[in-house]
Chains A and B, each alone.
Chain A
Amino acid sequence: MANTVIGSTIVIDGEISGEEDLTVLGTVKGRIGLREHIHVEPTGVIEANIETATITVEGTVTGDIHATERAELKSNCRVVGDIRAPRILIADGASFKGNVDMEG
């Protein structure tokens, strides 16, 4: 599966949709709608509402996250927004502010 990478100096202001994995090292503002996996690297900054199957956050996310399968917040990540997912993992050291809904 081809992998999409948003490099560390890239800023996307708008909407991203698609059906493949996305790795974010840069900045995305707007909206993200995917049916696969999103990985937010430590340098990644997302200011957007996110819809995806699974997401792993090591960087910063500001916005609501809706994952149909799984959301994972690693240590040292910062998330501000509501999370809706059937499985949610929050690691020790993760910073999170918002509501959690695990009913799907």
Chain B
Amino acid sequence: MARTSTSSSSPVPPSTTIGPTLHVRGRILGEEDLRIEGRVDGAIELSETLIVEESGIVVAEVQARDVVVRGIVVGNVTATDSVTLDAGAKLMGDIEAPRVILADGAAFKGSVKVTGAAPRPRARTSAGAKANRSRASAIPRVRAARPEAPVPEQDEPTVVVRRKDVQAAGRGETKAAKKAPPRPAPASAGKATKKKAAKKKVRPKVPSRKKRKVSRR
């Protein structure tokens, strides 16, 4: 690589790049990072990281160590380490990886298989645990640290698929529910209000899980 920069007139970016106007039809094999800004139809097999940029379109079976998607991928994605869908990513196909990360604003249709029990570093959780431990002995300034508590979402290795609108709706509901928790109405209240309260309590849990969407093909 060092040789390259000396021999060609312009400094060559270190990683392999498929430029935005380029269209590759066929198989790509490699043992280095690959950045796709153009289009690839066929298959990709890498032992390193594949990055599909915003302008990138990949219609292929993808195998790599890490896969980062910011553009469009149609096809099954298998990674030995992680698959990350950033905001703006669109993926149609099945994901198989020990770690799957979906960002807010990513669109995904397909199934997810979290393979292998690759124990992933859980910095946050352990920190939380420590905080808990110290809490017992500490002064009750603990409240400040409290907002960290609701992390169960990140604890879950499986994926939370979020369409923006669904999520927005979900959030709205959850917030509303949290702000005004349906108090058990005074005993004098009618049956109707009781029923309503029950419904509201149950609802907010639904949108965040999405398991049924994930398992469907």
Contact = CB atoms under 8 A, between A and B. Distances in A.
Interface in B73-131: none
A2 B28 CA distance: 20
A4 interface: yes
B208 interface: no
B29 interface: yes
Interface size class of A (residues with CB under 8 A): 20 to 34
Nearest to B47: A9
A3 B10 contact: yes
Contact of B21 (A8, A14, A18, A26): A18
7 shortest A-B CB distances, which residue pairs?
A14-B26, A7-B16, A18-B22, A4-B19, A10-B30, A9-B31, A11-B29
A68 B27 CA distance: 27
Contact of A14 (B18, B22, B24): B24
Nearest to B22: A18
A87 interface: no
A101 B25 CA distance: 29
Interface residues of B, number: 30
Interface string B1-44: 10110011010110111111111111111111010011000100
Nearest to B38: A18
B29 A13 contact: yes
A23 interface: yes
Interface of A: 2-23, 25-26, 30, 39, 41-43, 58
Given A10-B16, A10-B30, A14-B42, A4 B22 contact: yes
Contacts of A11: 27-30
B7 to A, nearest CB: 7
Contacts of B28: 10-14
Contacts of B37: 2
B20 to A, nearest CB: 6
Contacts of A30: 26
A17 B19 contact: no
